[in-house]
């Protein structure tokens, strides 16, 4: 390859209907004149949620949900395709592909309803249908604009482990497959359009990378192909100082470091899947977040170093889909293995622990996991500590699902005294009650737990306290 390579990912809203797909395809067609482009697409917005809802109904034995959805998806995708590719002849091959995917979906829903069982592996295949319907349409739209293009399913490119619902990529296998499948296409002057969100095990079983995983697909492929840069096209102008739905004054951050962006993603900034930046760290490939609805805007550049600012705090984020689990009792003081047993239990469930707080005497440990993991975690802890509960060494294992984590993020907070003071003072003035607090030694974030109801007020007061709505050069 002589020309530089860009990987461009388009999220659900950027491919939400024919107009959006045409606008996104135009962005690719312009870029493809000067460089090699690999496109990664999500499902049309809302489709993955609908696929999963219908899968759950089928798992309970419902026969209608799957049927109705497949019909609705057929209508939706055919309408978009007809608008994007008006000539019947040019459309035929794409229509054939869509019909194959829809027929597979129908068989999966029927089989699930008949067995009344939805396995994680089946759920992955059902969840993949949206991307697999979208990629051929996007390639068709590109061809209409004169850019030679082919769609390809990421099961042929991204190699993962077999953890259904949140598979991990295997870098070496993926690099080899990407070279075998995508490079010949690029060398032939074609723009590959790859399905985001999915991959396959070495023996070919389809997996998904977790919800919102198409961002991760883009960086996995960018790293595997030694891309020059990766552009994640979405519906906002980059990484903002806070979620604009919660803090309307939030502003685009022109440049941010991998570490800061990763902290934001980890603590719930939906604009990036939490694992997005992992693959690009070793090679330092820049990642841009840009708005496909306003491509003239530059968006945010995510780089190794970012750009430092005086004030320290760069952005705020919050996660509300979490639950606080606490375990304790006066009897556990001096029992040395409580912490070890607690987190071995969460690790066995693959329940990611988002924040931990412990008072010095060890008589109460609290930690946060995502809500879907909460019940299983508490059940497993009750089993693990059954003896201790019986002997009242441990007197409670409780769960509170009505909480949110807020994180204050910025690399320059390290060495900027007073950030914590300012944070807690502002929250105090706003009468926001703090349930738990944590700050890691990296000092790139301070995170704390509040009642879910106070979350938005807390974000707003901190956004104004740290003057994040004003242009201060960050």
Residues 286-315 that bind ligand ADP (CB under 6 A): 315
Which burial class, exposed, middle or buried, applies to 205 when counting CB atoms under 10 A from its CB (0-12, 13-18, 19+)? middle
- Residue 161 binding ligand ADP, by CB under 6 A: no
- Work out whether 252 is an interface residue with ligand ASP (CB under 6 A): no
- CB of 212: closest distance to Mg ion in angstroms? 4
* Residue 299 lies near ligand ASP (rule: CB under 6 A): no
Binding mask 29-68 for ligand ADP (x = CB under 6 A): -------------x--------------------------
- List the x/- string, 315-354, binding to ligand ADP by CB under 6 A: x-x-------------------------------------
Q: Which is nearer to ligand ADP, 59 or 268 (CB)?
A: 268
Pick the binder of ligand ADP from 5, 8, 11, 256 (CB under 6 A).
Answer: 11
Per-residue buried b or exposed e for 59-88, using 16+ beta carbons within 10 Å of the residue's own CB: beebeebbbebbeebbebbbebbeebbeee
Footprint of ligand ASP on residues 269-298 (CB under 6 A)? none
Q: Are strands 229-234 and 287-291 parallel, antiparallel or unpaired?
A: parallel
Among 66, 136, 192, 212, binds ligand ASP (CB under 6 A): 212
For residue 138, the partner it binds in ligand ADP, Mg ion, ligand ASP, none, with Cβ less than 5 to 8 A by kind, is: none
173 binds Mg ion (CB under 5 A): no
CA distances from 155 to 197, 207, 334 (A): 10, 8, 51
Q: Are 242 and 458 in contact (CB under 8 A)?
A: no
Handedness of CA 168, 170, 176, 177 (dihedral sign): negative
Query: Among 211, 307, 320, 382, which residue interacts with ligand ASP (rule: CB under 6 A)?
Result: 211
Tell which one of 7, 12, 138, 195 touches ligand ADP (CB under 6 A).
12
Task: Answer yes or no: are the C-beta atoms of 42 and 214 closer than 8 Å.
Answer: yes
| Footprint of ligand ASP on 102-161 (CB under 6 A) | 130
Residues 6+ apart with CB under 8 A from 93: none
- Asked if residue 213 binds Mg ion (CB under 5 A), the reply is no
For ligand ADP, give the closer residue by CB, 24 or 36: 24
Distance in Å, CB of 442 to Mg ion, minimum: 26
59 binds Mg ion (CB under 5 A): no
Residue with the shortest CB distance to ligand ADP: 11
Closer to ligand ADP by Cβ: residue 270 or 320: 270
Q: Which is nearer to ligand ASP, 197 or 267 (CB)?
A: 197
CA distances for 206 relative to 166, 315, 414, 473, angstroms: 12, 36, 43, 45
- Restricted to residues 237-266, the positions that interact with ligand ADP (CB under 6 A) are 239-240, 242-245, 264
Q: How far is the CB of 467 from ligand ADP (least distance, A)?
A: 16
CB of 388 to ligand ADP, least distance (A): 40
The closest alpha carbon to 293, from 23, 26, 41, 83, belongs to: 23
Q: Looking at 99-107, 208-216, 398-406, 464-472, which segment touches ligand ASP (CB under 6 A)?
A: 208-216
Span interacting with ligand ASP, options 59-67, 84-92, 207-215, 393-401, rule CB under 6 A: 207-215
- Applying CB under 6 A, among 12, 66, 173, 268 the residue interacting with ligand ASP is 12
Residue 268 engages ligand ASP in binding (rule: CB under 6 A): no
- Cβ at position 59, least distance to Mg ion in Å: 25
Task: Give the interface with ligand ADP as residue ranges (CB under 6 A).
Answer: 11-14, 42, 212, 234-236, 239-240, 242-245, 264, 269-271, 315, 317
Task: Give the interface with ligand ASP as residue ranges (CB under 6 A).
Answer: 11-12, 42-43, 48, 130, 196-197, 211-214
Task: Give the interface with Mg ion as residue ranges (CB under 5 A).
Answer: 11, 212
């Amino acid at each position: 390859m002589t020309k530089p390579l860009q990987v461009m990912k388009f999220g659900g809203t950027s491919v939400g209907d024919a107009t959006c797909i045409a606008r996104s395809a135009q962005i690719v067609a312009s870029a493809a004149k000067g460089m090699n482009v690999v496109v990664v697409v999500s499902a049309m917005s809302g489709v993955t949620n609908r696929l999963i809802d219908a899968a759950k109904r089928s798992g309970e034995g419902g026969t209608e949900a799957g049927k109705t959805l497949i019909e609705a998806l057929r209508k939706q995708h055919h309408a978009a395709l007809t608008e994007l590719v008006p000539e019947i002849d040019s459309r035929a091959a794409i229509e054939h592909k869509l019909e194959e995917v829809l027929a597979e979906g129908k068989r999966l829903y029927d089989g699930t309803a008949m067995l009344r069982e939805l396995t994680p592996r089946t759920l992955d295949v059902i969840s993949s249908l949206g991307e697999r319907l979208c990629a051929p349409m996007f390639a068709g739209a590109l061809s209409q604009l004169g850019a030679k293009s082919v769609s390809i399913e990421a099961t042929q490119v991204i190699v993962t482990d077999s953890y259904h619902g949140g598979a991990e990529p295997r870098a070496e296998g993926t690099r080899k497959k990407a070279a075998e499948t995508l490079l010949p296409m690029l060398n032939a002057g074609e723009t590959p359009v790859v399905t985001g969100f999915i991959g396959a095990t070495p023996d070919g079983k389809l997996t998904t990378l977790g919800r919102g995983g198409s961002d991760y697909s883009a960086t996995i492929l960018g790293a595997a192909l030694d891309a020059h840069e990766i552009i994640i096209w979405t519906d906002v102008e980059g990484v903002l100082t806070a979620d604009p739905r919660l803090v309307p004054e939030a502003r685009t951050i022109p440049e941010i470091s991998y570490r800061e962006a990763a902290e934001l993603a980890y603590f719930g900034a939906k604009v990036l899947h939490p694992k997005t930046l992992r693959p690009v760290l070793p090679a330092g490939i820049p990642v841009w977040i840009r708005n496909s609805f306003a491509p003239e805007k530059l968006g945010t550049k995510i780089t190794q170093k970012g750009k430092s600012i005086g004030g320290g705090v760069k952005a705020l984020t919050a996660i509300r889909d979490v639950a606080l689990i606490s375990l304790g009792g006066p009897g556990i003081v001096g029992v040395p293995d409580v912490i070890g047993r607690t987190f071995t239990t969460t690790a066995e469930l693959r329940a990611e622990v988002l924040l931990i707080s412990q008072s010095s005497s060890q008589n109460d440990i609290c930690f946060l996991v995502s809500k879907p993991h909460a019940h299983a975690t508490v059940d497993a802890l009750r089993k693990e500590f059954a003896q201790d509960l019986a002997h009242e060494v441990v007197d409670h294992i409780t769960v509170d699902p009505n909480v949110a984590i807020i994180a204050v993020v910025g690399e320059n907070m390290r060495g900027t005294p007073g950030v914590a003071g300012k944070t807690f003072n502002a929250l105090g003035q706003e009468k926001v009650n703090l349930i738990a607090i944590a700050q890691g030694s990296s000092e790139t974030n301070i995170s704390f737990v509040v009642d879910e109801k106070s979350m938005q007020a807390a974000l707003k007061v901190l956004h104004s306290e740290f003057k994040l709505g004003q242009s201060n050069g960050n």
